[in-house]
């Protein structure tokens, strides 16, 4: 009855143009409460507290070190001055590539998520003052971009393949939504809305043609629709995804392939082109599906997911293997040293899978999210929080890979916004109950969809250990299902409820569904299998054939030169017969579970062998015992630049 009443009120509000069904405070990373084709509904960031543990310390560093240092660098590199010069506040030339506006927007989004975790009046004031400076640069029409001004103004929306006007707008909207959900203040959001109103008035079928070029606006528009209830935004997202303007814009095959926009999304058969563009396009399409249920979209999304995860993704969850064009390669084209694997692309993979998880409730998507988060995204930020990887290769000769700043600095604030919103990815609700997706010390204070207040608290030694208890505290006894994720890497899992073994089989890569009448104080116990394992790649990945990577829990491991004195890391091999032994090192690389292993190296150190020799005449094979130390991949490159490898020959 209560649910029906809420729905009626919401419908009324939607028809009056205010569809913020959930109060701003109650809106999650994605506000899916009214999305008819979302099975799961994320729990708001503010309703989940990360307690002392792995991710809390990453968040603390992000907030204390990354946010201030990145803002200082954005200022130093003229990103805000690009706005100030338009209002006469600064008399300087425009600096940086044409998409720098998006970098400050992403920073503002990150800062806004930080406010969900706890209020910080100084940070709020910083966002407010940046907002005012950005507002001052917005044109009365609503147009807002610091690059396409003055002599370039005549080219607005003329070079959309690479112009990034809509990419920047997408990030502005996302920042505005995050800040609105943090504070109830719509000032930042209103700047994006004004630009969108301008677009919706002048562009579209029967008006001027528009193309995102770099997808991003699509997903932002759907979230704007979820925030305001204005259907026009969803329709405009459909227009952008429908790729109907190919002819009017005379787009070439190579362009639509590279941009992942410009032809109907639903005509796509494979993931290709620029990796971040492709991932953001798929994410936007999945958002669109959640609102409309258009089956053609789901069919395409499934095909693209399969192509990505089964043929084009690294073991770290990174995607986009080619430096040329920052692009996806052919199937199984996954070079290690040359891997491009931009941090933003791994984040794209994370958000794409977040949407697929919300649509289906299928654990396979959470598994990809976890893989990307702990490895390919996590590697993108140094332990200090002030140095970043743009590329995340899986092997290195020791080149410098981390920098505080890049001329194209898209990745740093992207990682920051991901880490600071992280608690919002831990739990979801559904009509049946509540889902636990990720494991770390945390406390959820939210409600079931029946309206009953519910608290969950995870106490765990994850991610280094496998034991977790979850206390379940509904405000009153109630029957619902607690879905706990059983990761694909946990071959055997022990699951108990109030100390008694859970009767049904617990399979890897599923959610164990615990349906019962839950009472305040009930306790769920989980014990995952933390056995380190060798991982093989599909034999068609030429670079990895005959080699193995190592995984323990969610972490992929690597060998880095300073820890391995037996020889250059490129001369080392794993021994299939020898164990991988965990060793906790509290004082090393911020506290890690290292792995020791009796591996192999060449009987005589390699030195000056011919480039090619007949079999039987060359150096043979690595047969000499060598002590190896493996560290989690994310922790590499936190010392002097040094060689590193994820994949080693397995003997
Ligand atoms: O083009 C904007 C961003 O810069 C892309 O997402 C990244 O791949 C980098 O090219
Ligand atoms: Zn990037």
pLDDT reading at 224 higher than 70 = yes
The answer to whether residues 636 and 558 touch, using CB atoms and an 8 Å cutoff, is yes
Tell me which residue of 365, 361, 353, 483 sits closest to 418, measured CA to CA: 353
pLDDT at 18: 45
Cα angle 618-620-622, degrees, rounded to a multiple of 5: 140
Half-sphere exposure of 23 (CA within 13 A, CB side): 4
SS3 content of the chain, % helix, strand, coil (to 5): 40, 20, 40
Please compute the mean of the pLDDT values over residues 238-264 and round it to a whole number: 97
Q: How high is the pLDDT of residue 22?
A: 79
Q: How far away, in angstroms, is 99 Cα from ligand 1 center?
A: 8
Pocket probe mutation, ligand 1, options 274, 276, 406, 407, max atoms within 8 Å of Cβ: 276
Contact 142, 77 (CB under 8 A): no
**Which is it for the CA torsion 242, 247, 250, 253, positive or negative?**
positive
Confidence of residue 12 (pLDDT cuts 50, 70, 90): very low
Instruction: Supply the pLDDT for residue 13.
Output: 44
Q: Which of 483, 632, 628 is nearest to 553 (CA)?
A: 632
Percent of the chain past pLDDT 90, that is, above it, reads 95
Residue 275 CA, closest ligand 1 atom number = 8
DSSP 447-472: E-TTS-EEEEEEEE-TTTS-EEEEEE
Output the pLDDT for position 376: 98
Ligand with the closest atom to the CA of 165: 1
Q: Is 643 in the pocket of ligand 1 (CB under 6 A)?
A: no
Residue in 376, 348, 307 with CA at minimum distance from that of residue 549: 376
Pocket test for ligand 1, best of 410, 411, 417 (most atoms within 8 A of CB): 410
Per-residue model confidence as pLDDT tens digits over 256-281: 999 999 999 999 999 999 999 999 99
- How far does the centroid of ligand 1 lie from the alpha carbon of residue 346, in Å? 13
Is the pLDDT confidence value at 2 over 70? no
When pLDDT is cut at 50, 70 and 90, the band that residue 503 belongs to is: confident
- The CA 412 to ligand 2 mean position distance, Å, reads 7
The answer on pLDDT for 7 being more than 80 is no
5: confidence class by pLDDT, cuts 50, 70, 90: very low
Q: Is the CB of 165 under 6 A from ligand 1?
A: no
Check: CB of residue 481 under 8 Å from CB of residue 504.
Answer: no
- pLDDT band at 3, cuts 50/70/90? very low
**For residues 320 and 341, is the Cβ–Cβ distance under 8 A?**
yes
Residue 370 Cα, ligand 2 centroid: separation in angstroms? 19
Any ligand 1 atom below 6 A from CB of 410: yes
pLDDT at 14: 42
Does residue 209 carry a pLDDT above 90?
A: yes
Query: 250 CB contacts (<8 Å, ≥6 apart)?
Result: none
Residue 10: pLDDT band by 50, 70, 90 thresholds?
very low
- Could you read off the pLDDT of 85-138 as tens digits, one per residue? 999 999 999 999 999 999 999 999 999 999 999 999 999 999 999 999 999 999
The CB of 342 under 6 Å from ligand 1? The reply is yes
Please write down the long-range contacts of 184-193, taking CB distance under 8 Å and 24 or more positions apart.
Answer: 184/24, 184/25, 185/128, 187/128, 187/131, 187/132, 187/135, 188/108, 188/127, 188/131, 188/134, 189/227, 191/131, 191/134, 191/135, 191/138, 191/144, 192/220, 192/224, 193/224, 193/228
The reported pLDDT for the residue numbered 21 is 56
Inform me whether the pLDDT recorded for 66 exceeds 50.
yes
pLDDT of 20 > 90? The answer is no
C-alpha count within 13 angstroms, C-beta hemisphere, residue 48: 30
Instruction: Answer yes or no: is the C-beta of 344 below 6 A from any ligand 1 atom.
Output: yes
CB 451 within 8 A of CB 429: no
Rounded CA separation 391/597 (Å): 28
Ligand 1 center from residue 327 Cα (angstroms): 11
Give me ligand 1 centre to Cα 387, in Å. Answer: 18
Percent of the chain whose predicted confidence (pLDDT) is above 70: 97
Q: Which ligand is nearest to the CA of 100?
A: 1
**pLDDT of 242 higher than 60:** yes
Instruction: Give the whole-angstrom CA distance, residue 412 versus residue 390.
Output: 8
**283-339, pLDDT tens digit by residue?**
999 999 999 999 999 999 999 999 999 999 999 999 999 999 999 999 999 999 999
Is residue 214 lining ligand 1, measured as CB closer than 6 Å?
A: yes
Determine which residue's CA is closest to atom 5 belonging to ligand 1.
Answer: 276
Query: Has residue 19 got a pLDDT over 90?
Result: no
* Residue 524, beta-bridge partner list: 470, 497
- Identify which of 436, 392, 440 has the alpha carbon closest to the alpha carbon of residue 414: 392
Residue 80 CB–ligand 1 contact under 6 Å: no
Comparing C-alpha atoms, which of 345, 319, 348 is closest to residue 334?
A: 319
């Amino acid at each position: 009855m209560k649910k029906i009443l809420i729905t009626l009120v919401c419908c009324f509000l939607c028809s009056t143009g205010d569809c913020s069904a959930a109060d701003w405070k109650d809106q999650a990373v994605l506000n899916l409460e009214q999305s008819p084709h979302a099975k799961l509904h994320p729990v708001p960031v503010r309703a989940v507290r990360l307690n002392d543990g792995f991710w809390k310390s990453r968040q603390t560093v992000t907030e204390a070190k990354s946010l201030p240092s990145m803002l200082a660098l954005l200022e130093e590199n003229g990103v805000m001055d690009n706005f100030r010069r338009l209002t006469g506040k600064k008399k300087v030339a425009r600096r940086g590539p044409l998409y720098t506006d998006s970098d400050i927007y992403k920073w503002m989004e990150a800062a806004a998520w930080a406010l969900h975790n706890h209020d910080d009046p100084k940070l709020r004031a910083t966002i407010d003052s940046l907002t005012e400076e950005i507002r001052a640069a917005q044109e009365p029409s609503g147009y807002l971009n610091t690059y396409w001004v003055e002599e370039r103004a005549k080219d607005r929306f003329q070079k959309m393949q690479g112009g990034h006007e809509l990419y920047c707008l997408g990030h502005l909207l996302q920042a505005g939504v995050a800040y609105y959900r943090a504070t109830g203040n719509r000032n930042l959001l209103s700047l994006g809305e004004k630009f969108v109103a301008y677009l919706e008035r002048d562009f579209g079928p029967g008006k001027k043609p528009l193309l995102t070029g770099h997808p991003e606006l699509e997903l932002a528009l759907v979230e704007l629709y979820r925030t305001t209830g204005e259907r026009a935004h969803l329709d405009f997202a459909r227009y952008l995804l429908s790729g109907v303007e190919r002819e009017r814009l005379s787009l070439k095959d190579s362009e639509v392939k590279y941009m992942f926009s410009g032809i109907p999304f639903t005509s796509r058969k494979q993931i290709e082109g620029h990796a971040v563009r492709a991932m953001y396009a798929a994410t936007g399409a999945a958002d669109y599906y959640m609102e409309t249920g258009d089956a053609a979209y789901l069919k395409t999304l499934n095909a693209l997911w399969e192509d990505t995860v089964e043929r084009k993704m690294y073991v770290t969850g990174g995607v986009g293997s080619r430096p040329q064009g920052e692009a996806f390669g052919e199937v199984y084209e996954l070079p290690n040293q040359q891997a491009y694997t931009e941090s933003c692309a791994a984040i794209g993979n994370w958000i794409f899978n977040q949407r697929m998880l919300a649509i289906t409730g299928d654990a396979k998507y959470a598994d990809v999210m976890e893989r990307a988060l702990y490895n390919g995204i996590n590697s993108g930020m140094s332990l200090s929080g002030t140095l970043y990887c743009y590329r995340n290769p899986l092997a290195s000769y020791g080149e410098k890979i981390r920098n505080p700043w890049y001329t194209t600095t898209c990745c740093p604030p992207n990682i920051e916004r991901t880490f600071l919103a992280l608690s919002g990815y831990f739990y979801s609700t559904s009509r049946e109950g509540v889902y636990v997706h990720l494991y770390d010390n945390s406390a959820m204070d939210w409600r079931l969809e029946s309206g009953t207040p519910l608290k969950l608290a995870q106490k765990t030694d994850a991610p280094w250990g496998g034991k977790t208890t979850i206390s379940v505290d509904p405000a009153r006894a109630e029957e619902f299902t607690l879905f706990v994720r059983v990761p694909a890497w946990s071959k055997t899992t022990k699951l108990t409820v109030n100390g008694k073994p859970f009767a049904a089989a617990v399979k890897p890569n599923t959610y164990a569904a615990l349906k019962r009448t839950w009472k305040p104080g009930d306790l769920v116990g989980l014990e995952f299998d933390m056995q380190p394992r060798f991982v093989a790649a599909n034999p068609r990945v030429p670079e990895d054939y005959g080699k193995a990577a190592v995984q323990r829990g969610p972490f992929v491991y690597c060998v880095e030169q300073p820890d391995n004195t037996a020889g250059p890391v490129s001369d080392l091999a794993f021994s299939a017969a020898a164990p991988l032994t965990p060793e906790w090192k509290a004082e090393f690389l911020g506290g890690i579970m290292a792995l020791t292993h009796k591996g192999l190296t060449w009987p005589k150190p390699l030195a000056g062998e011919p480039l090619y020799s007949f079999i039987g005449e060359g150096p043979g094979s690595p047969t000499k015992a060598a002590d190896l130390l493996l560290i989690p991949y994310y922790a590499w490159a936190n010392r002097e630049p040094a060689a590193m490898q994820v994949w080693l020959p397995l003997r």
